[in-house]
Amino acid sequence: MSRVILNNVRVELTAEQILAVVRQLPPKEREKIRHELEAEEWKRDFEALLARIHARVDQSPISEEEIDREVQAVREARRARRAA
């Protein structure tokens, strides 16, 4: 159950009551709410992805030299494709 305090007025609403209110809103307002909720979900998902990436990096660190070699190899492969 959610609580909302407005100028010292407390209202307790269930999730179903909140959904009923949201369904009564005009489409633009519902879209705004959907966008805000999706933005929060996207942020959580993105942060979880970053955490997984950092965990992998910690398990298999790569040196600057290895990165430089990989970049150089990709550049050479691109040059070879363009020349062909």
In tens, the pLDDT along 2-45 reads 777 777 778 889 999 999 999 999 999 999 999 999 999 999 99
Cα–Cα separations (whole angstroms), residue 49 to 6, 19, 40, 45, 58: 37, 30, 14, 6, 14
* Mean pLDDT value across residues 60-66: 86
Note whether 18 and 4 are within 8 A (CB): no
The two structure tokens encoding residue 26: 């005009």
pLDDT mean over 48-54: 91
Name the residue type at position 19: L
Is the pLDDT higher at 61 or at 4?
Answer: 61
> What pLDDT score was predicted for residue 4?
72
Question: What pLDDT shows up at residue 10?
Answer: 81
49 three-class SS:
helix
Distance CA 31, CA 70 (A): 44
Distance CA 9, CA 51 (A): 41
